Structure 1
Amino acid sequence: MDWLREHPEVRTIRVAAADLNGVARGKRIPARFADKIIREGTRFPYSVMNLDIWGEDIENSPLVFETGDPDGLLIPTERGFMPMPWLEAPTALLPIWMFHMDGRPYLGDPRQALARVLMRFGEAGLTPVVATELEFFLIDDSGKTLRVPPSPRSGKRRTGGEVLSLRALDAFDRFFTALYDACEEMDIPADTAISEAGPGQFEINLLHQSDALKAADDTWLFKMLVKGLARRHGFAASFMAKPYEAWSGNGMHTHFSILDRAGQNIFDERRPDGRERLGHAVAGCLAALRGSTLVFAPHQNSFDRLVPDAHAPTGIGWAHENRTAAIRIPASGPAARRIEHRVAGGDVNPYLMIAAILGAALQGLEAAEDPPAPFTGNAYSQNLEQLPGTWAEAIETFANCPRMPGIFPAELIENFLMTKRQELHYMAELSEAEQTELYLDTV
């Protein structure tokens, strides 16, 4: 409430939680009722956390008619109020998450699923340090075909990708300046911005932090901010995995290391077991990759990105300082040794993505699993086991993977599968243009 008292100009608030697709679901409330939300929370049907990408109920879900579509209790996260700089009227956002009425966490909530994985790390005396790298396109979607928006400075459109081009960044300087100012206001640790290989494609890194739940919050909020702020500047921003057939897709790479109780990196090679424990974590990630591909590629469009020779991994392997690998060990000093997980697209739910990565790494550490030898050279030319090649295959692989119940609650697994099977069924009725229109703003 202190933040609201410091901002008397704010007259409305939004309360919002992430559903299984990472879509914000919530309510608009007059600011004068904010204290009631803080004291008592608010209520949504449990089924709201389990809507499909169109925002429709899941057919035959036990959360709907079978149980009378009951309510869960949503209470504010530790994040508190923050501004929504993409809206014209001064407005506050209050992130919330779902519990049962008796106070138990609702395990169909993706944020609760990540919190559950982090609780297991805490019980083992371990703390993950996490950072995400987010790629997105700025897009003019006002016509029949997607195009790069004209530069506010020159009025010209870029015709191709310009990797690490200052000119490309400067063309949208007004937008990026507003974006960084907004990140400061929202306490999102945005670091370096670069232009990427696609036309109008950019990447912004969020800084490493030892609160993985906040790292997921920041990633979710950043996606919301970028999309909203772009609209305010007269164009769209999209994290969909592959908006253009002829250009590279959007990835979301995740870096992580793990600290022990003394705050030391367990992957530090100066420790007697540093290299070995790095290998255990890598082994866990590799063993869960096929089963968790649906988390990293949750939509029809996701699989347009996961193709050979397109700067997105297709094979299950790891390597040192090699961007063709699904699991990359970046060059660093021993104390900063970390793992980069490169499979996820920009269209993921960040809570599920980070839970899948850290949960798999913890499985490898707990079982002291050994990884295969790292490969060298081009991953696409290696004889590697492959990720599922289609959405349908990824759904069934997730359903049958024995490792998933050790990472995600049974209720979330079942809800996620029902959601994806329903989407797979109805997506077949849409043209490619209709699918693009659907995914452009939602993911």
Structure 2
Amino acid sequence: MKDYLRKHPHVRTIRVAAADLNGQARGKRVPARFAENVVKNGTRFPFSVLNLDIWGEDIDESPLVFEQGDQDGVLRPTERGFMPMPWLEAPTALLPIWMFRENGQPYEGDPRHALRSIVERFKTHGLTPVVAMEMEFFLIDDSGKTLQVPPSPRSGKRRKAAETLSIRALDAFDVFFTDLYDACEAMDIPADTTTSETGLGQFEVNLMHCDDALRAADDAWLFKMLVKGLARRHGFAASFMAKPYLEYSGSGLHTHFSLIDRNGDNVFDSGGPKGTALLRNAVAGCLDAMYDSALIFAPHDNSYERLVPGKHAPTAICWGYENRTSAIRIPAGSPSARRIEHRVAGGDVNPYLMLAAILGGALNGIEDGLEPPSPITGNAYAMDLPQIPANWSDAIDAFEGSAIMPRIFSPELIRNLVLTKRQEVHYISELSPEERTELYLDTV
């Protein structure tokens, strides 16, 4: 890590940042000449900082604040190390960090540690998750009273319609996407294919598969920061808000995963299209945990405007082969690449919590030998099937009362997240629809 700053003497400041429960970056600005001290000794801030609400306010009922004296945690660099922040004017480096207790033990309320604990459970079975994510977002002109698609930097015109898989839509923002790919290269984020999507000014960038789930979540978290920051440099906003336009489809964060054994073989590969018994166990575990973990996949008030029938987001708890109306899809293709696609999460999620919930559910299914119901064929929206929670309050209640979630998340994280979301429910009710959109546009 020290070598990075020696090789980049032009860097003037660094940011040290960790993800809170809402996926917000919390941390500090440090002059570059003092960076070595952070690398060696870490930094400190209160445990409660990883448990703020979406506005960045303390949680009123949290024992972390006054009851425990607002004690400090110790934050140390992750294995990611320094990377540039190409969306800022001054040469700046970002150092991702995560939280530990004074005795060196991981802080259970840190979302990155939640994912780490799931990965370690997989290791005890000789299994390693291989993960890829599809990052959907909107480019938005938010300079006026109403949101609209930005004018093309090439033509000056606004394309006020969905342009699914449109090369024209991609070319209209070619300068932005060229800068985005250059920035991903500099930050070592494995950005692959970009497509235009079904929403107004909506795009998707696929992140390549990775056999390190923590790194995959890092990539998604960093990508969201990068896209939002870089868009502002180009004169418009980028948002991972689940549903900025009611009349168009929202943004998802679809996650593909397989599992490899100690020999590097895909344990979902049966040599044919159906997959193995372990694939079915993993599917069953994901389905079993889906209702109770909906708060992770749809963490905000706006999230539930995306989860409506017929708008390219799942509403039923079901699975199928090559079926995008189901919550769990098994893509076709080479048997060696057999995998599970989990389609519930919105673009507004915390990637660490999302991946912990998906992989944790799958592992529960494998450990318990669960069997899924029959895969569906046809339109899931038209079938009588168990449903994902349709509103925020039901999702909070399900998460809090779940017997499944304590197998995936620590009691401290469950408590902290429930307190956070109940506080947000209370205060969001005081906002107008316009104020809610303004809140979520930049934060999530």
Residue-by-residue CA offset, 1:121-170 (whole Å, 9 max, x unaligned): 01111000000001000000000000111111100011101000000000
> In the alignment, residue 113 of structure 2 is paired with which amino acid?
Q
Cα contact 2:304–2:392 (8 A) shared by 1: yes
Query: 1: distance between equivalents of 2:197 and 2:98?
Result: 34
> In the alignment, residue 22 of structure 2 is paired with which amino acid?
N
Query: 1: distance between equivalents of 2:336 and 2:410?
Result: 34
Cα contact 2:140–2:239 (8 A) shared by 1: yes
Residue-by-residue CA offset, 1:65-109 (whole Å, 9 max, x unaligned): 001100000000000000000001100000000000110000100
Query: 1: distance between equivalents of 2:152 and 2:7?
Result: 36
> In the alignment, residue 45 of structure 1 is paired with which amino acid?
P
> In the alignment, residue 39 of structure 1 is paired with which amino acid?
K
State the match for 2:14 in structure 1. 13
Structure 2 gaps, min length 5: none
Per the normalisation by structure 2, the TM-score is 0.99
TM-superposed deviation, 1:274: 5.0
Other structure's SS at 2:138 match: strand
State the match for 1:183 in structure 2. 184
Cα contact 2:275–2:338 (8 A) shared by 1: no
> In the alignment, residue 305 of structure 1 is paired with which amino acid?
R
Cα contact 2:275–2:335 (8 A) shared by 1: no
State the match for 1:118 in structure 2. 119
1:253 and 2:254 matched? yes
Kindly report which structure 2 residues correspond to 1:13-412, keeping only aligned pairs within 5 A, or say none: 13-270=14-271, 275-412=276-413
Query: 2: distance between equivalents of 1:198 and 1:16?
Result: 31
> In the alignment, residue 323 of structure 2 is paired with which amino acid?
N
Other structure's SS at 1:22 match: coil
Query: 2: distance between equivalents of 1:18 and 1:341?
Result: 22
Query: 2: distance between equivalents of 1:352 and 1:198?
Result: 26
> In the alignment, residue 158 of structure 2 is paired with which amino acid?
R
Residue-by-residue CA offset, 1:7-49 (whole Å, 9 max, x unaligned): 1110100000000000000100000001100110000100000
Other structure's SS at 1:66 match: coil
Query: 2: distance between equivalents of 1:234 and 1:158?
Result: 17
Other structure's SS at 1:4 match: helix
Query: 2: distance between equivalents of 1:396 and 1:200?
Result: 35
RMSD: 0.9
Identity %: 70
Residue-by-residue CA offset, 1:213-255 (whole Å, 9 max, x unaligned): 0000000000000000000000000000000111110000000
Query: 1: distance between equivalents of 2:147 and 2:206?
Result: 25
TM-superposed deviation, 1:334: 1.0
Other structure's SS at 1:295 match: helix
TM-superposed deviation, 1:3: 1.0
> In the alignment, residue 346 of structure 1 is paired with which amino acid?
G
Other structure's SS at 1:438 match: helix
Query: 1: distance between equivalents of 2:18 and 2:68?
Result: 22
Query: 2: distance between equivalents of 1:415 and 1:322?
Result: 36
> In the alignment, residue 138 of structure 1 is paired with which amino acid?
L
Residue-by-residue CA offset, 1:186-237 (whole Å, 9 max, x unaligned): 0000000000011210000000010010000000000000000000000000
TM-superposed deviation, 1:401: 1.4
Cα contact 2:17–2:94 (8 A) shared by 1: yes
Query: 1: distance between equivalents of 2:95 and 2:124?
Result: 29
State the match for 2:442 in structure 1. 441
Q: 1:305 to 1:274 in 2, by over 3 A?
A: closer
Count of residue pairs the alignment pairs up: 442
Other structure's SS at 2:162 match: coil
Other structure's SS at 1:137 match: strand
Runs of 4+ in structure 1 off by over 2 angstroms are none
TM-superposed deviation, 1:270: 2.8
> In the alignment, residue 125 of structure 1 is paired with which amino acid?
G
TM-superposed deviation, 1:400: 1.2
> In the alignment, residue 429 of structure 1 is paired with which amino acid?
E
TM-superposed deviation, 1:383: 1.3
Query: 2: distance between equivalents of 1:123 and 1:104?
Result: 20
> In the alignment, residue 424 of structure 2 is paired with which amino acid?
E
Other structure's SS at 1:67 match: coil
> In the alignment, residue 31 of structure 1 is paired with which amino acid?
A
> In the alignment, residue 64 of structure 2 is paired with which amino acid?
L
